[in-house]
Amino acid sequence: MPSGTHVDLHVKVLNDRVVDRAKACGLDALVYAPHFTRLPEIRARADRFSDEDLLVVPGREVFAGTWRNRRHVLAVGLSEPVPDFISLPGALDAVERQGAAVLVPHPEFLNVSFGDGDVRTHIDRIHAVETHNLKLFPYQNRRARRLARDVDRPGFGSSYAHLGGSVGEVWTAFDREIDSEADLVAALREGASRRVLRRNGAQHTTRKLAEFAHLGYENSWSKIDRLFLSGMEPTHPDHVAYRGRFDDVKVY
C-alpha cells in the first residue's frame, strides 16, 4: 500500500472482524458512522475498538430532510448529538457550531444525497465531496469526481461498508500523520493533501456487487419497519435526549 495515513472514511459496521480486516488491509483509521445511532453510543463503541494500531473515529451520517427527499451529511468531529430528520440548513448549522468537518457522501445518488445544486448552494460549509464509493458504479464515481473538481473541493473515498468484508476496499491516503480524532478533523477542514485509492480485481468487484445488493434491503422494508412500526428512533428530533433543541428545524 502506498505511503501516507490511510483512512476508510465511512463504515457502518464495527466488530473484531472489521478491526482485523482493517489492519490486514494496512489501514490506520476508520470513521464509524452507523445509521440511526446516537453519538454517545457511536463514540463508546469507537473507543472500545481503537488501539495503538487502528484509530476508530466516531462519525454521524445525519439524514437531513424527509425520508423521501433526504440529504445525507457525514459529520466528523461532533461533540454534541445531532438528530436525523431535521432540515438541511438546520443540520449544517448544528455541525458548523461544533467545528466538525462536513463531508458529502455519495453525491447525486438517488434521493439520499446532495445534488449538484445542494452542493453549490452550501459549498462554503462543505469540506470534502466523496469521489469514490465502493457501492457505486464507475459512471457515478466519475460524476462525483467532476462535481468535486467543479466546486473546487477535495475528494475522499470510502468503502461505505455495511458488510464487514468490504472494509478497506476504498480508502483515503493523507500526506500527513493522523493520530487522533482532532488530527483527522483538522486534515479534513484544512483540505490536507490526499489521494483516493482502491483495490482491484474480481474479489473487489464481487464485494462491490454485494454492497449494492445490500442497498435494496437497507432502503426498503427494514427502514420502513424501523421508522414507522417499531417506535421512535433514538435519533428522531422528538426523542427526549434532544430536549426540544431541534423543534424549530425538525421535518417530522
- Mean pLDDT, the chain, rounded, equals 93
Query: What per-residue confidence (pLDDT) applies to 194?
Result: 98
d(CA 59, CA 200): 27
d(CA 86, CA 247): 9
CA dist list (Å): 121 to 124, 157, 223: 8, 23, 29
Helix (H, G, I), strand (E, B) or coil at 164: helix
Query: What per-residue confidence (pLDDT) applies to 226?
Result: 55
**Adjacency order of strands within the sheet including 155-158:** 155-158, 128-133, 101-104, 70-76, 55-65, 29-32, 5-11, 170-174, 194-198
> pTM higher than 0.85, yes or no?
yes
pLDDT, tens only, 142-157: 999 999 999 999 999 9
Residue 141: pLDDT over 50: yes
Superfamily designation of domain 5-242: Metal-dependent hydrolases (3.20.20.140)
Confidence of residue 49 (pLDDT cuts 50, 70, 90): very high
Nearest by Cα to 25 from 50, 57, 56, 1 = 1
Question: What is the phi/psi pair of residue 209, to 5°?
Answer: -65, -35
Confidence of residue 111 (pLDDT cuts 50, 70, 90): confident
Query: What per-residue confidence (pLDDT) applies to 220?
Result: 56
> Do residues 113 and 132 lie in contact, with contact meaning Cβ atoms separated by under 8 Å?
no
pLDDT, tens only, 203-212: 888 888 888 8
Residue 229: pLDDT over 50: no
